[in-house]
């Protein structure tokens, strides 16, 4: 593979999220609150994330779509959302490493 066309990777060899989408996905405080909740390593439902972030179910669903499109979270079975394990350097701590940036979410909301 040509090095100029190869996707950038984290130190662990996993692909980095697209930087433009990453920045766009992080552009709202509600999403930071959701990421903080998900940084614990456990999958959460839309209802749980709506409650934690202080928004309606419909708004939570829209924010989760933005986070998913940005590659920051994934949707698993049973409509549960989580941050892929490769981005959680210390599960249980409010830290997420997307390669381009390290988020310390302990102060988020």
pLDDT value at 108 more than 80: no
Spans of all domains in the chain: 19-107
State the Cα–Cα distance between residues 38 and 49, nearest whole angstrom: 9
pLDDT in tens, 12-31: 556 777 777 878 788 889 99
Is 45:80 a contact under the CB 8 Å cutoff?
yes
Q: Which fold has domain 19-107?
A: Arc Repressor Mutant, subunit A (1.10.10)
Instruction: With a cut of 50, say whether residue 3 has pLDDT above it.
Output: no
Mean of the per-residue pLDDT values of the chain = 85
**Nearest by Cα to 86 from 9, 22, 12:** 12
> In the beta sheet, which residues pair with residue 45?
80
pTM over 0.85: no
Q: What percent of the chain has pLDDT over 70?
A: 85
Nearest to 41 by CA among 79, 10, 85, 86: 85
Both structure tokens of 24: 């766009």
Q: Which residue has the tokens 């456990």?
A: 42
The residue that leads in pLDDT, 16 or 97, is: 97
Average pLDDT over residues 31-50: 95
pLDDT at 2: 43
In angstroms, the CA 56 to CA 3 distance is: 45
């Amino acid at each position: 593979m040509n090095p100029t066309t190869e996707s950038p990777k984290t130190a662990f060899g996993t692909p980095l999220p697209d930087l433009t989408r990453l920045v766009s996905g992080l552009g709202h405080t509600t999403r930071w609150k959701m990421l903080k909740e998900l940084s614990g390593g456990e999958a959460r439902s839309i209802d749980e994330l709506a409650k934690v972030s202080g928004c309606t179910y419909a708004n939570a669903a829209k924010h989760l779509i933005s986070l998913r499109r940005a590659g920051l979270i994934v949707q698993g079975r049973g409509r549960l959302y989580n941050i892929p394990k490769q981005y959680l350097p210390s599960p249980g701590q409010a830290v997420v490493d997307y390669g381009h940036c390290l988020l310390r979410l302990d102060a988020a909301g």
